[in-house]
Structure 1
Amino acid sequence: MRLIILSTILLFQVWTVKGQTSLKAINLNKGKYEIGFRHYTETDSTRTYRIHNEFNNQVINRPISISIWYPTKIEKNNSQQLTVLDYLEVLKEEEEWKNLPNYFLLDWFPYLSNTPENKAHLSEKVDAFSNSTFLDGKFPVIVYAPSYQSSSIENFALFEYLASNGFIVISSPSRGTDTRWLEGGTTKDIETQSRDIQFLLKEIYKYKNIDLNKIALMGFSFGGLSNTITIMKHKNISAIVSLDGTERYNYGVLKKSPYFDLDKFNTPYIHFAQKEIPEEVLTSDKISAELNYKFQLYDSLQYSNAYSYRFHDLSHSYFSTFGILFANRDKRQDKSDAKIMASYRLLSEHTLQFLNATLKNDKYARKFIENSPENNGFAKDLISKKMKQANTRKFDYKDFNDLAFTQDYQDLIPLYKRIISKYPELELQEGMLNTLGLRLSFNPKKIKQGVNVFLLALHIYPKSANLYDSLAEAYLHNKDFKNAIFNYKKSLELNPENQNAIDRLKQLK
């Protein structure tokens, strides 16, 4: 019995040969941390959703299934080591077949097949444990966007590997706007998944163990498109990883998004691409030869340090754990299982190094990412690479304010001196500083920060009567009457007709 599902697959491949792989043969060397796993469901009350398989018009709040991997402390009495079958229980739920008997599992979904090899995978033990607590400390977080209509756990071996090396990974499934099904890779589909990613970016604030200053996005295939749009909406993302993301293949649909703005893409970016598609496959599957060489997003990026790798032994599907374990092989182009697993391991290791470099500022990892594959010990026929440095973008008052915000508006004059020496064209307008200073000063929790803004403003505009008047207002609001009187008098020295200062001094006397 097989459930027939017709859907658009962005990079079509024909499977004709059975694969023989295992988690043990992939041989991802676990890091120093044990790995915990949790799965739960939240709801987004701002959107509605319908369970397609129930065949009615009933709508509910949009369910967001969440899977999370994290460094953990194993509790012998409660923690239980998981198997591949446990992950497939999550898949059943996300496919809205939670109660499907397991003996139907390999017959039911089109991307699984009932073979002896796939049956053997079900009992394989994975590295993650359920019912385990988060390890104390702060860890960087990776928010993952799956491929087209795929599960949150599609890359579980990679997620476990990253968690064992001190990262937290959080993921939700790729679902359509109104039901489980997407429209076919449209701009609407991209925006729907982007909103799910944004939901996870809020969800991480619930976890005290997540370092909210170290956030990366990672996605496979269609998830790469959605992450590209998300990065153009958010400034607090430190890195983006694309596992053969479709932003390389479908740039046109990106440009149709109302959020598309290359000037806002200034985050370190790495794209891992599949091997060249053979002429036979291009012709028989009616695939444009441009997919082998054209990469318009990478070529268009100006303000991002960008890295583009090609893994010459990996076809598109093998950028996920599911593809490695369950997908049948395409005899026209796929390498041997041994080469596929070895390249997936290298992909995982390169992903780790990039994240160590960008989120942990690890010296070895930075050198690894900047090196050529040959200098890192990899043959040219295994991995190739190109990279480019970000162009210097004009630094404006908003960029300065971002830096000031990160240091809680302390030591602003030294910060200004450092920045102005690097960007002499920077102009901090008096009116902007005055407004910002007042906004902070009238906030009971930010009065000192507001005073600091005014002190910077007066360093730049020392003869401004209005700034002295506003600084006096800040002190007065803080009931610092001595400094209020001093600054009202300074304002009157510069502008004897300042009626506000005259009236305030009379009140203070």
Structure 2
Amino acid sequence: MRTIILVALVFFQVCLANGQTSLKEINLKSGAYNVGFKHYTTIDSTRLYIIENDFNNQLVYRPIPVSIWYPAVIDNKNSKQLTVLDYLQILKEEEESKNLPNELLLDWFPELGDTPQNRAHLSEKVNALLNTNFLEGKFPVIVYAPSYQASSIENFALFEYLASNGYVVISSPSRGTDTRWLEGGTTKDMETQSRDVEFLLKEIHKYEYIDFDRIALMGFSFGGLSNAITVMKNKKISALVSLDGTERYNYPVLEKSPYFNVDRFNIPYVHFAQKDIPVEILTSDKIPAELNYKFQLYDSLNYSDTYSYKFHDLTHSYFGTVGVLFSYRDKRQDKSDDKIMASYKLLSQHTLQFLNATLKNEESAKEFIENSPDKNGILKNLVSKKIKKSLTKEFDYNDFKNLALNQGHRDLIPLYEKTVAKHSTLKLEEGMLNNLGIRLSFNAGKMEQGINVFLLALHIYPKSANLYDSLALAYLYNQDHKNAIANFKKSLKLNPENQHAIDKLKQLTE
């Protein structure tokens, strides 16, 4: 199955005809902000790695190249506008081929190609500038996971577009666990990229102008799969964008992860999918027809507002800037360059609207993502859409525990009465409350909070000898002998055979 999936995702690269595109013709109108760009390499000292092109088999700490786009303040003396070639220099570095001469660059990498059209792209100016400072403010952040073994800059036009609209975008390349090479789209590969995404989630804390309460993940192809498992591990993510992510095509890889749990996937999620693969290609390339319609993750999600789009003029490669500009066209199915560029622009606009709705809470954007495409003025032959709204999750112990924590475990009885009136099925188990009370009571500085939990537990279970015994122990630990004695006695009244209470009372009254 793994081989079939990989074939399905790379057959778009068949070298049949090369297209003519340009950033100018994509025509993504910038937002209100200037765009700054930084690139640097840091290390993850918890993992080891071999740089194969050094040919020394030496283990080093895992290098993490980082690219970051952000709303910027321009320094007119020092700021420098980038070109497409500047971005491809980063591609060379991340592919561990930084010494490759530029004249060989287009021939060296399979996703490019040395044609007159592609050579013309190298001098195109982009919107991002070097040597700029962050604009003051607090901006939402998007952590990006690239496609299979791809560069951090693979979607640079989209990143610049989002940064110009008030977002920070941070990305690192997709690379294998031990070397540059992945194994073939395995669960191990997915977990490795997920760890790289989690590294970036730590890296963003170096930047004071990022709002850490507004974080989205975005990924293309294999990066979408890695992000899906990251969402199941990390509760700080507020939204997820998938650019034809392979969580749609290779669900079994997701299921094999020890972190797999669809009930933890409970944030707004949008998946933008490629056009239907023609029957001719399904047959000739031995690709399962179900790739056109099966979406097991979408069907499995219960607690996420989920949006599924299909772009009828885009094949898989063209969900990234590098693909739109450089990839060879497959005459068997690819649309014209004009249609590809128009659809990539439409994809970028939909991404912005989804992020504005989920991270910025903009009313017009929320209306946009709930509308059908035709209500947003988009022709049905360009985009089709499905929506599945979240089910109401039953309010449980963990939900109540979070409410209690948010108010410092104070006034728990009124909180419980108010909550149970709203959620009649809520049941707080005696043992869970007892364990929480004990953990808090023996945690320095949280004694009072632990006692409050015991008082709530006894409000619910007034005839529990064990709860009175635990409460007495908490008072004893706090050197409050009077209340300790009183509660040990209450425990004994309910359970005269409680030897622990008998022993403690004897110690306290001698």
Q: How does the TM-score come out when normalised to structure 2?
A: 0.88
CA distance in 1 between partners of 2:149 and 2:71 (Å) = 28
Match of 2:392 in 1: 392
Displacement of 1:263? 2.7
Displacement of 1:80? 2.3
Displacement of 1:418? 4.4
Amino acid of the residue matched to residue 43 of structure 2?
T
Cα deviation per residue 1:396-421 (whole Å; 9 max; x = unaligned)? 21232234445554564454344323
Q: Give the secondary structure class of the aligned counterpart of 1:21.
A: coil
Amino acid of the residue matched to residue 348 of structure 2?
S
Displacement of 1:487? 7.7
Cα 1:234–1:29 shift into 2, 3 Å: same
After superposing the two structures, state which structure 1 stretch, 23-32 or 279-288, moved more: 279-288
Match of 2:242 in 1: 242
CA distance in 2 between partners of 1:365 and 1:501 (Å) = 63
Cα 1:408–1:238 shift into 2, 3 Å: farther
After superposing the two structures, state which structure 1 stretch, 466-475 or 429-438, moved more: 466-475
Match of 2:11 in 1: 12
Give aligned-pair identity as a percent.
68
Unpaired segments ≥5 residues, structure 2: 1-5
Q: Judge conservation of contact 2:492–2:502 (CA < 8 Å) in 1.
A: no
Cα deviation per residue 1:81-107 (whole Å; 9 max; x = unaligned)? 222222112111100011222222222
Q: Give the secondary structure class of the aligned counterpart of 1:354.
A: helix
After superposing the two structures, state which structure 1 stretch, 115-124 or 85-94, moved more: 115-124
Displacement of 1:443? 3.6
Displacement of 1:339? 1.6
Cα 1:362–1:465 shift into 2, 3 Å: farther
Q: In the alignment, does 2:99 pair up with 1:90?
A: no
Q: Judge conservation of contact 2:412–2:453 (CA < 8 Å) in 1.
A: yes
CA distance in 1 between partners of 2:491 and 2:345 (Å) = 69
Q: Judge conservation of contact 1:465–1:490 (CA < 8 Å) in 2.
A: no
Cα 1:131–1:57 shift into 2, 3 Å: same
Match of 2:233 in 1: 233
Displacement of 1:467? 5.1
CA distance in 2 between partners of 1:30 and 1:95 (Å) = 30
Amino acid of the residue matched to residue 11 of structure 1?
V
Amino acid of the residue matched to residue 335 of structure 2?
K
Amino acid of the residue matched to residue 10 of structure 1?
L
Cα 1:130–1:500 shift into 2, 3 Å: farther
Match of 1:4 in 2: none
Match of 1:23 in 2: 23
Match of 2:210 in 1: 210
Displacement of 1:327? 1.1
Q: Judge conservation of contact 2:34–2:74 (CA < 8 Å) in 1.
A: yes
Q: Judge conservation of contact 2:468–2:491 (CA < 8 Å) in 1.
A: no
Q: In the alignment, does 2:271 pair up with 1:271?
A: yes
Q: How does 1:50-449 map to 2 (within 5 A)?
A: 50-406=50-406, 408-409=408-409, 412-444=412-444, 446-447=446-447, 449=449
Cα deviation per residue 1:339-368 (whole Å; 9 max; x = unaligned)? 211111111111112122222222222221
CA distance in 1 between partners of 2:509 and 2:282 (Å) = 84
Q: Judge conservation of contact 1:469–1:501 (CA < 8 Å) in 2.
A: no
CA distance in 1 between partners of 2:50 and 2:352 (Å) = 38
Q: Judge conservation of contact 1:219–1:242 (CA < 8 Å) in 2.
A: yes
CA distance in 2 between partners of 1:118 and 1:132 (Å) = 29
CA distance in 1 between partners of 2:309 and 2:22 (Å) = 25
CA distance in 1 between partners of 2:374 and 2:220 (Å) = 26
Q: How does the TM-score come out when normalised to structure 1?
A: 0.89
CA distance in 2 between partners of 1:27 and 1:131 (Å) = 25
CA distance in 2 between partners of 1:376 and 1:425 (Å) = 40
Displacement of 1:210? 2.5
CA distance in 2 between partners of 1:501 and 1:119 (Å) = 85
After superposing the two structures, state which structure 1 stretch, 333-342 or 151-160, moved more: 333-342
Residue-pair matches, total: 498
After superposing the two structures, state which structure 1 stretch, 167-176 or 387-396, moved more: 387-396
Cα 1:371–1:9 shift into 2, 3 Å: closer
CA distance in 1 between partners of 2:39 and 2:287 (Å) = 38
Cα 1:29–1:437 shift into 2, 3 Å: farther
Amino acid of the residue matched to residue 212 of structure 1?
F
Cα 1:437–1:339 shift into 2, 3 Å: same
Match of 1:3 in 2: none
CA distance in 2 between partners of 1:410 and 1:115 (Å) = 69
CA distance in 1 between partners of 2:385 and 2:7 (Å) = 30
CA distance in 1 between partners of 2:254 and 2:70 (Å) = 32
Cα deviation per residue 1:451-484 (whole Å; 9 max; x = unaligned)? 55445435434566765676677678778x6xx8
Cα 1:51–1:494 shift into 2, 3 Å: closer
Q: Give the secondary structure class of the aligned counterpart of 1:12.
A: helix
CA distance in 2 between partners of 1:146 and 1:495 (Å) = 63
Cα 1:191–1:223 shift into 2, 3 Å: same
Q: Judge conservation of contact 1:464–1:491 (CA < 8 Å) in 2.
A: no
Q: Judge conservation of contact 2:469–2:491 (CA < 8 Å) in 1.
A: no
Displacement of 1:440? 3.1
Q: Judge conservation of contact 1:469–1:488 (CA < 8 Å) in 2.
A: no
Cα 1:489–1:137 shift into 2, 3 Å: farther
Amino acid of the residue matched to residue 382 of structure 1?
L
Q: Give the secondary structure class of the aligned counterpart of 1:241.
A: strand
Displacement of 1:33? 2.2
Cα 1:356–1:441 shift into 2, 3 Å: farther
Q: Judge conservation of contact 1:485–1:505 (CA < 8 Å) in 2.
A: no
Amino acid of the residue matched to residue 431 of structure 1?
G
Displacement of 1:438? 3.7
CA distance in 1 between partners of 2:229 and 2:464 (Å) = 43
Displacement of 1:326? 1.1
CA distance in 2 between partners of 1:340 and 1:452 (Å) = 62
Q: Judge conservation of contact 2:43–2:61 (CA < 8 Å) in 1.
A: yes
Cα deviation per residue 1:228-260 (whole Å; 9 max; x = unaligned)? 222222222221111001111122322233332
Displacement of 1:431? 3.2
Match of 2:3 in 1: none
Unpaired segments ≥5 residues, structure 1: 1-6
Cα 1:63–1:441 shift into 2, 3 Å: same
Amino acid of the residue matched to residue 460 of structure 1?
I
After superposing the two structures, state which structure 1 stretch, 41-50 or 492-501, moved more: 492-501
